[in-house]
Amino acid sequence: MSAAAKAKRSCPEATIVVIEQGQDVAYGACGLPYYVGGYNNDMELMRIRGVKDFRRSGIDVRLGQEALAVDPTSKTLIISSADGRYEESYDKLLIATGAGAVIPAVEGVRAAGVFVLKTLVDGASLKAAVDQETVRNVVIVGGGYIGIEVAEAMVAKGKNVAVVEAADRILSGFDAEITAIATQELQQHGVQIFTDESLKKILTRDGQACAVETTRGVYPADAVVLALGVRPRTQFLVESGISLTDNGAIVIDRQMRTNVPDVYAAGDCATVYHELLTRQVYIPLGTNANKQGRLAGENICGADREMPGVLGTASVKIMDLEAVRTGLTEQEAGRNGLAVRTVFVEAPSHAPYYPNPAPIHIKLVYDKDTQILLGAQLIGRQGAVLRGHVLAACIHARMTLSQIGWLDFSYAPPFAMPWDAVHVAANAAK
């Protein structure tokens, strides 16, 4: 919808049609765990802009319709609607079908009491279930961002919570030093963490989920949340000639163009340009999707703007902690053959002579020879995420540790020390 809105502003004379399979557009899905957890009980707050608003601006939004196939030769789509199938022609086409929740092919995943959390409908269903006092035990399969956010939501609802993760640790987008702190925080709030365990089946009683069986054990479950990641929703493009990656993501260039003339793609169904790796990668994040949508809307109308690039910057709340990552982790640098060094430090959030200082743990990843910052990860009770934003800017600017160590930050006892936590980490590294 960001592309549709930008295109309408860029070329108001154009006829812009949006085909949407569901009944909702332009909503903040990242707010769903907090809606389910009762931090916000008004779903309308997640709706960014309504269908009526888009239609009033001249955009033809068609709900409950699904694109079944694309024919680039004739420049047509086959669309399914309540009234049957029909063809729609295009001059320019944007594919922004996003990604769907991964649902494994194991016994019991379609039983009552098994949920995913991707859409507003998903959120309403899960909230209705966990609001019932009879739902006591909740098992979350998957320890990524969504899984951990749902775990916190379930703790807030007073549930017994278990997280099952197939990898050797949760939050694998961070390095081990950070995930160890996150794991301890969850456990201190009563969340059971089971790693190195894969889902075998979901056990049922009278059609209702009652337990989760893994490769290592069986855990009682009145509700099961599958948080196993996402997969691009591009199955309808397999025979279109549009290039896809191994996981089904649409391959695009920095102008959002596919390999097929006049066909663009953006968001979680597509790749995105990583400025450090200097190539297209798959990083499904709302920040990337919004930027890509805006660029696509401009370029469809004749502009030739490039995506500057992303760093995979992402943050997550873990009970009373906040964590952020930007750039490359040590693992990612190693997989890409980069010679790096790292430093891991603890520094105070603010001066000890102001109440409630808290430690911030910072890991920096930097080029072995040039000492240019390539990645940063932070976790702490306060001030970690916004400092991560600072370090993201430093990576964009290709700054060295020495330059970062001399940045002119403010100092006041409620906010920082004379040498801020960012200074401490940079100076420890250099």
Q: Is the predicted pLDDT of residue 222 greater than 90, yes or no?
A: yes
CB 336 within 8 A of CB 372: no
Question: Count of CB atoms within 10 A of residue 372's CB?
Answer: 17
Closest among 142, 144, 114 to 130, alpha carbons compared: 114
Mean pLDDT across the stretch 375-383?
97
Mean pLDDT across the stretch 334-358?
97
- The residues annotated as belonging to the active site are 30
> In whole angstroms, what is the distance from residue 41 CA to residue 344 CA?
39
pLDDT at site 430: 75
> In whole angstroms, what is the distance from residue 370 CA to residue 333 CA?
15
Q: Which residues contact 274 (CB under 8 A, 6 or more apart)?
A: 280, 281, 283, 309, 310, 311, 312
Q: What is the mean pLDDT of the chain?
A: 97
- Tokens at residue 116, please? 């995913």
Closest among 231, 271, 233 to 250, alpha carbons compared: 271
3-state secondary structure of 419: coil
pLDDT at site 131: 97
Burial of 298 (0-12, 13-18, 19+ CB in 10 A): buried
Q: Which residue has the tokens 């549009």?
A: 242
> In whole angstroms, what is the distance from residue 424 CA to residue 420 CA?
6
Burial of 47 (0-12, 13-18, 19+ CB in 10 A): middle
One-letter identity of residue 176: A
One-letter identity of residue 338: L
In the chain, pLDDT over 70 holds for what percent of residues? 100
Strand (E) or helix (H) holding 161: strand 160-164
Mean pLDDT across the stretch 91-108?
97
Instruction: State residue 43 phi and psi, 5-degree precision.
Output: -60, -30
Cα–Cα distances in angstroms (integers) from residue 322 to residues 59, 325, 383, in the given order: 39, 11, 8
One-letter identity of residue 331: Q
Closest among 205, 290, 216 to 256, alpha carbons compared: 290
Q: Which residue has the tokens 């929703």?
A: 233
pLDDT at site 168: 97
Tell how strand 160-164 and strand 192-194 pair up: parallel
pLDDT at site 268: 98
Segment among 39-53, 75-89, 172-186 with least mean pLDDT: 39-53
pTM: 0.95
Mean pLDDT across the stretch 312-334?
98
Measure CA of the first residue to CA of the last residue in the chain; give whole Å.
Answer: 45
Note the pLDDT tens digit of each residue in 193-221.
Answer: 999 999 999 999 999 999 999 999 999 99
3-state secondary structure of 186: helix
> In whole angstroms, what is the distance from residue 284 CA to residue 297 CA?
19
CB 140 within 8 A of CB 163: yes
CB 397 within 8 A of CB 374: no
pLDDT at site 16: 97
> In whole angstroms, what is the distance from residue 10 CA to residue 28 CA?
24
Confidence of residue 2 (pLDDT cuts 50, 70, 90): very high
Instruction: State residue 105 phi and psi, 5-degree precision.
Output: -85, 70
One-letter identity of residue 350: H
CB 129 within 8 A of CB 143: no
Confidence of residue 138 (pLDDT cuts 50, 70, 90): very high
> In whole angstroms, what is the distance from residue 117 CA to residue 98 CA?
14
What angle, 0 to 180 degrees and rounded to 10, lies between the N-to-C axes of helices 2-10 and 286-300? 30
> In whole angstroms, what is the distance from residue 414 CA to residue 425 CA?
20
For the chain, the residue count is 430
Cα–Cα distances in angstroms (integers) from residue 426 to residues 66, 169, 203, 345, in the given order: 51, 27, 51, 10
Mean pLDDT across the stretch 241-252?
98
In the chain, pLDDT over 90 holds for what percent of residues? 99
